[in-house]
Amino acid sequence: MIEVRHLSKSFDGVEVLKDINAQFHKGKVNQVIGKSGSGKSVLAKCIVGLLAPTEGEVLYSGESFQQMDKERKKLLRQEIGMLFQGGALFDSLTVLENVMFPLRMFATMSVAEMRDRADFCLRRVRIEGQDHKYPAEISGGMQKRVGIARAIAMQPKYLFVDEPNSGLDPQTSIVIDELTKEITEEFDTTTLVITHDMNSVMGIADHIFFVHNRQLWWQGTREELLRSDNQELQEFIFAGSLMRQVRQAMEKR
Amino acid sequence: MGLLFHIGRYFMLLGEVFSKPERRSVYWRRTVEEMDLLGVKSLGIVSLLSLFMGAVIAIQTKTNIDSPLIPFYVVGFTVRQSTILEFSPTIISLILAGKVGSTIAAEIGSMRVREQIDALDIMGVNSAGYLILPKIVATAIINPFLIMISMFLSIFGGWMAGVLTGIISSNNYIAGVQWDFDPYIVTYALIKTVVFAVIIATVSAYHGYYTQGGTREVGISSTKAVVYSDVVILIANYLLTQLLLL
């Protein structure tokens, strides 16, 4: 489990996040939603340690990240997998080398074992026969799947997924969402997805956190989300025509 | 304050760069790749520049100091001295700052804006060490070889220009090259080369590593990398010359 306590973050005196308190549970897909610029990506970066919070702390399985020494942080990071918005695959490495990269850096196994593990991860995300291609030679959807394969190579306890569906067609988005859900259940990871895609939220979210006006404005399940009378949340989730139709259908019932 | 901030952050980055590598074999493999990319692939431009540089020094020396009072060996001697002391280590390093420095800054800057450095950090990899240390080691190893090749080609270029244009005989040129040779000047040149190589790699990597924004900022970082590398090389050149030759 990941716990965020009284987390605030400012840049040059401008407050971006204010007193965020949240618990992200193990084996669940926790989705952080919010408008562009609401601070959800900053929240994710504070949680993974890419940004230092101005105030507050982040606890991984009860252990404060801010209190850890450099070596402990390094070890913890080997338990974290992250899929970035653009994939963040290394351009100079092939698909196979990208997935093997964290294993080469940290795992104590033979090259053959690393290859087997990388092959398993690639099969798990349904990629085969692309081992020797470079990231630029595969589609955006494939890059995301390779990113997931790389994220799970070290069998992480914590999985972070940043805007997984940006730039993808609806079908590929569903594939990425399903993979995120399957991997969370299969590896029992604490998964945190940053998104503003309501299809993804309605498809796979176990628990939803709505960030608005620098604060954690609302949290709950999918069912609670649809029935919430929170004004700002309503405006956000029913902004699209599809979600408006869902609401109309619910009101008719 | 801005300058002090950058100097402080530069040395803090170097602290990260020289911390213990996660896996030495991976770092070594990357160093070999960088030696090819940053060193071997610069051989063409270094060779071309050096040949013409030597040729021009020879012709200019002969035409500017053409007097019966000037000894016959002066052309070869001048080409050798100016090549070894200044032109090869300094001018070629300035050229390499343009070629290699912009490559380093653009590569690392692109990785920064495309979140690849964040990916390394989240994995627990020391991104500064992984990306920058192999480049420093590679340039510090390969640049002295490049500069020695440059020295040879520049002196050879002087011989070609002198002999082919008939302004000096081959024997006189070679005698001038051999006259009053002090091997220490080669040591001095190689010390400078190694220092300049480290400057090129670290200053350029610094600008790439702290790139913020998008592709436009990557371009700005590349330009800054070249400009600041050149400035630091010129300052270091003056200091090293005073330190090693006086």
Of A74, A85, A104, the CB nearest to B124: A74
Taken in order B109, B115, B118, B120, the sign of the CA dihedral is negative
Residues B124, A84: C-beta atoms closer than 8 Å: no
Residues B23, A105: C-beta atoms closer than 8 Å: yes
Beta bridge partners of A207: A30
Determine the average pLDDT of the residues in B62-67: 82
Residue A196: pLDDT band (50, 70, 90) is confident
Measured CA to CA, the distance from residue A188 to residue A58 in angstroms comes to 20
Collect all residues of chain B within an 8 Å Cβ-Cβ radius of residue A74: 124
Distances (CA, A) of B66 to B61, B63, B75, B126, B168: 8, 6, 10, 60, 11
- Predicted TM-score (pTM) of this structure: 0.88
Does position B66 have pLDDT exceeding 80, yes or no?
no
On whether the CB atoms of residues B98 and B199 are closer than 8 A, the answer is no
- Nearest residue to B81 via CA among B154, B11, B14, B139: B154
Å from B109 to nearest chain A CA? 13
Convert A70-94 to b/e letters by CB count within 10 Å (16 or more is b): eeeebebbbbbbbbbbbbbbbeeeb
Collect all residues of chain B within an 8 Å Cβ-Cβ radius of residue A50: 118, 121-122
Q: Would you tell me the crossing angle of helices B184-209 and B2-17 to the nearest 10 degrees?
A: 100
ipTM of the complex: 0.87
Residue in A with minimal Cα distance to B20: A71
What pLDDT, in 10s, does the model give residues B199-243? 999 999 999 999 999 999 999 999 999 999 999 999 999 999 999
Å from B81 to nearest chain A CA? 42
Residues B116, A77: C-beta atoms closer than 8 Å: no
The share of chain B scoring above pLDDT 90, in percent, equals 88
The share of chain A scoring above pLDDT 70, in percent, equals 98
Amino acid at B50: S
Residue A215: strand, helix, or coil: strand
Measured CA to CA, the distance from residue B138 to residue A20 in angstroms comes to 46
pLDDT of B225: 97
Taken in order B130, B132, B135, B137, the sign of the CA dihedral is negative
